[in-house]
Amino acid sequence: MDGTFYKLMTAANRNDRFDLIEDDSVLDSNLNNHIHPIFQRTNFKSYHPYMAQALRLASLYLHFDSTLKWFVQPLLGKLQTTKGANGNRKCLTNPLEGKDGHERKLLIDEVRKALHCFSHCVSFQWKADTKLKITWGKTEICHDEPTHAYGCCRIFQHKQSVSITLRKNYYDYYKDKSDEGYARGSRCDRFRHDFHFATTLVHEIVHAVGVMRRGDMYEPYLQYDYPETEWGWAWENFMFGGILNPLQRHGKGTDYLVRKMWSPSGSRFKNYFATPVAWVAKWFRLETWEDIKHNGPLAVEEPEFHLKMHRDAKQRWAVFSDHPSVGQDLVELKREIMERYAVDLQADSGLPKVRGDTARMVVATRYHYLHNGRDMGWTLTERPDRVTYQNRHSYSVAAFPVASATPPASSSSTHSTSPPSANSIDGRRTTSRPSLADAWYSSPSPSSGPSSTVIQRKRRNVDYTDDESERPSKAPRRF
C-alpha cells in the first residue's frame, strides 16, 4: 500500500474505532483438525510450533469438497482457445460443467489424491523482505526430483519439483519471544497473522500445482472473463470475495486486513474495504467450517464495512464512511500535512502548493459521509475557506466544514445508489443486505470540480472500466 493510502486509513481508523485491530468479543480458536501432508514439518526449511494454528487453517482450505471443487479446473481442465470481446485467450475448460453429483464427486476425489501427491514435490523456505522482491511469497521451479510413492497420481509426473519462498517476517514473528512476538501477542494479533500466513500458503500452492502440471511458469486464463491469469487471486476471490492483504507489510506481525476487489493489475481504478478482525476470527471456528462444508465459502457472511477507500483512474483518493468522527480526523490530517509540507500558494487557486506526491494526494483527498446507506454528496476539505500565509514553510488552515451525524438539509448533490448485483464469480456475492457498501459501487462525485469520465461496471465481482487502457492484457501473465 502506498503512503497516501496508509496515512488516510490510519487517520480514519483512529483509536481503532472500527475494530479492525482488536475486538474483545471474538472467541478463541477451536480448530483441532489434522495438518495436510503438504504442510508437514520436513517440507519447511525452518519450522516453529506456533505455526500450527495457521497450518490447520490452510489445511481446511484444502479439505472439504465444497472448497476443493475450485481445484478441479486448474488440475483437470483442458487448454483451449476461446474467442470473445477481448480477442483470443488461452483458457482451461471446467470438467465439472454438465456433470451429475456422482461424477463431480469422482473429480473432486481425484483432486484430493493429487494434492496428497503434491506433498512429495514441494518445499518451503524463508527469505528476508528486501531480498524477496515480491510482497508475500513466490513460487519457482526446483530441479530436485520429487520422491513420488507407488500409486501417486499421474498429474505431477514431471522430474522436477517446486520451491515456495515466503517472506521471513512471518517466521520471525512466530519465533520472537519479546512482548512484540506471537507468544505474547493478543488473540486478535495472532488471528490476523495466522490468517494471512495461511492464505499466502494456499495462494502459492495454487500457483505451484499449475507449475507442476504444466512444467512451466505461464498460466492460462481459468475463465475467459477473469481480469487476468493470476490463479492465486482467482482462488482468493472464490474463498473471500476479494483479495485480502494487510494495510502495511513492514514491522512485526500482521497489520489489519484490507480487502480489494479483483480487477486487472494495470487498472488504476480500485476499491478497498477495511475488514473487521471479528470476520477474520470466524475462520478459526469449527462451526464456521461445518457451514462451509455444506454450503461452500458463501456460508461465511460478509462483514459490516464501515470504511472504504476509492481510487479513480486519475489516481485521486476518496474516503467513504458512516462514522461522523472520521471527517474531523481527516481534517486534522490535512491540516497537519499542509502545515508541514506547504511551500507556496498556487497563483490560479490560492490554495497551498504542497511538496511530495503523498502530501499532495492527502490534501486532495475527498471525504464522503454516508447516512443510512446514502452518499450525501458533500465533501470535507474540498478546499479550505481560508488559507493564511505565515512563512514559506508553514500555513495555518482554518474554517474547514466538518461532517455531523445529520446531513444538511440544503445539500443539493444528495443522491442514492442502487445496491450492487448479487452475481459474482463462482456465486460469490459482495453483499446481501442494504449497507454502507451499497453506495460504494458508483464513482464518488465531488461537490465541485470535474467528475471522472470512467464508467464502472459491476460484473461478477470484478471491476471493469470503459477505458481501453484498463482492460486485461491478452498475453498470459508470468508470476
| The pLDDT value given to residue 420 | 31
| The pLDDT value given to residue 296 | 94
Per-residue pLDDT tens digits for 135-151 = 788 888 887 766 666 66
Q: How far apart are CA 283 and CA 281, in angstroms?
A: 5
Q: How far apart are CA 402 and CA 400, in angstroms?
A: 6
Cα distance between the two ends of the chain:
19
In the beta sheet, which residues pair with residue 92?
A: 79
In contact, 217 and 229? CB cutoff 8 Å: no
pTM above 0.85, yes or no: no
Q: How far apart are CA 143 and CA 124, in angstroms?
A: 14
Q: How far is CA 50 from CA 53, 171, 174, 181, 191, in A?
A: 7, 9, 6, 11, 12
What Rg value do the Cα atoms of the chain yield, rounded?
24
> Residue ranges of the domains in the chain?
3-311
pLDDT along the chain (479 residues), means of 10: 80 93 95 96 94 97 96 93 88 91 93 91 84 74 70 71 91 92 94 97 94 87 89 94 88 89 77 94 97 94 88 82 86 80 53 63 75 50 30 26 32 32 33 35 34 29 34 38
The HSE-up count of residue 73 (CA atoms within 13 Å, CB side) is 21
Angle, helix 52-61 to helix 187-214, in steps of 10 degrees: 50
The CA-based dihedral angle spanning residues 82, 86, 90, 95, taken in that order and rounded to the nearest 10 degrees: -50
AA letter at 333 = L
Q: What DSSP line would sit under 85-125, residue for residue? A: TTEEEEEE--TTTT--HHHHHHHHHHHHHHHHHHTTSEEEE
DSSP 415: B
Q: Is 326 exposed, middle or buried (0-12, 13-18, 19+ CB in 10 A)?
A: buried
Q: How far apart are CA 328 and CA 401, in angstroms?
A: 9
Per-residue pLDDT tens digits for 223-255 = 888 888 999 999 999 999 999 999 887 778 899
| The pLDDT value given to residue 429 | 38
| The pLDDT value given to residue 128 | 81
Per-residue pLDDT tens digits for 185-202 = 999 999 999 999 999 999
- Which residues touch 396 (CB under 8 Å, ≥6 apart)? 339, 387, 388, 390
Q: How far apart are CA 463 and CA 227, in angstroms?
A: 8
